[in-house]
Amino acid sequence: AQRVTQPEKLLSVFKGAPVELKCNYSYSGSPELFWYVQYSRQRLQLLLRHISRESIKGFTADLNKGETSFHLKKPFAQEEDSAMYYCALRETSGSRLTFGEGTQLTVNP
């Protein structure tokens, strides 16, 4: 069965510091991975998709199949990045999206 693990429930950094939110997965097929973000009192929003290899709001994430990881990184954190971040895996058939437990990121001034 597919599984997504985010080992850090809470992560606190200072403004301007680099940040890395860890995500590991287990899945027997070829994974499709996403990062979602939930700002305070708002709905979940898609942040990144691994297939697009894009940078959104300064965040990037690289799929490492050897380490089965999809860590989210940003070189210089901003206060507005404070939010809950969820890593998610979609199975090949496309219908089920499995989320990790989430990491609450706090960027301090």
Partner 1 sequence: EAQVTQNPRYLITVTGKKLTVTCSQNMNHEYMSWYRQDPGLGLRQIYYSMNVEVTDKGDVPEGYKVSRKEKRNFPLILESPSPNQTSLYFCASRGRQTANYGYTFGSGTRLTVV
Binding site for partner 1 (CB under 8 A): 6, 9, 32, 34, 36, 42-46, 49, 51-52, 86, 88, 90, 94-102
CB of 9 to partner 1, least distance (A): 7
- Kindly state the tokens that stand for 15: 């403004």
* Smaller CB separation from partner 1, 57 or 96: 96
CB of 30 to partner 1, least distance (A): 14
* Smaller CB separation from partner 1, 17 or 44: 44
Q: Is the dihedral of CA 5, 7, 9, 13 positive or negative?
A: negative
Contacts of 1 (CB under 8 A, 6+ apart): none
In degrees, rounded to 5, the angle at the alpha carbon of residue 22 between the alpha carbons of residues 6 and 27 is 60
CB of 15 to partner 1, least distance (A): 26
Look-up: residue for tokens 């027997």? 28
* Smaller CB separation from partner 1, 24 or 98: 98
